[in-house]
Amino acid sequence: MMLPGRVVADYALNPTKQPLEHAMSMTFSGQVALVTGGAAGIGRATALAFAREGLKVVVADLDLAGGEATVALIHAAGGEALFIACDVTRDAEVRQLHERLIAAYGRLDYAYNNAGIEIEQGRLAEGSEAEFDAIMGVNVKGVWLCMKYQLPLLLAQGGGAIVNTASVAGLGAAPKMSIYSASKHAVIGLTKSAAIEYAKKGIRVNAVCPAVIDTDMFRRAYEADPRKAEFAAAMHPVGRIGTVEEIASAVLYLCSDGAAFTTGHCLTVDGGATAI
């Protein structure tokens, strides 16, 4: 929409009078990022991407070997990283994670809450209470606990950004994965609510909503039936599933100054799947 007689730099449209190029910046400098679920897949790819941009990275996961391997890859590339074992469903461990992060690096600028659990593969009435508790515990309680401890740290230093991993399964119906779908709807609710609560505090909270991505989780789910893998690729108008690097790029964008006017947003990275 054009506004006659006004310019983009006008105070009413741009109160800080920041130059337009600031909004396109993807630059990170001397900052600290936390990635949960960083032992493999999307989490590892994002941790490596943060490190390539010069950030110090804290990798958190229950998988000790995988988490240490991610840190070793960062060190081998000349980056700085620290692994901290953490069960995101346990309040004490999440609190200690953030205490150790601050003790090591003194600050937190970006948090990517990515730790998640695999989907169930059955109709709703076939699910178990244990399955429900496990999925909700990691995917919902884990995100809530992490944000519970991240937000005060970001407030104390005057701002920052949080990105949560949701899913296209959180944007609509997901037959035969109703618990997982419900958990990702909840992540979107947490994301949007926190974004509004902290919008004027310099903190942005967004989510990424991947479709099917080539991860170990995907391979475990589909390797027993190649026909399912072919169907998964066909779900996406681009004709393939996504890569972990493509999700990492989306996360970095949402953390960057290029997304300075973006909060409460759920960015679909889905090869066109939700456009159908």
Catalytic positions, please?
Answer: 180
- The whole-angstrom separation of Cα 218 and Cα 211 is 11
Nearest CA among 104, 90, 115, 204 for reference residue 154: 204
Q: Identify the burial level of 200 via C-beta atoms within 10 angstroms of its C-beta, where 0-12 means exposed, 13-18 middle and 19 or more buried.
A: exposed
Orientation angle between helical segments 41-52 and 244-255, nearest 10 degrees = 50
Give the H/E segment covering residue 105.
helix 91-105
Helices (H) and strands (E) in the chain, counts: 9, 7
Tell me if 47 sits within 8 A of 110, measured CB to CB: no
Is residue 28 within 8 A of residue 229, CB to CB? The reply is no
| Closest among 31, 96, 86, 88 to 63, alpha carbons compared | 86
For residue 202, how many other CB atoms are within 10 A of its CB? 13
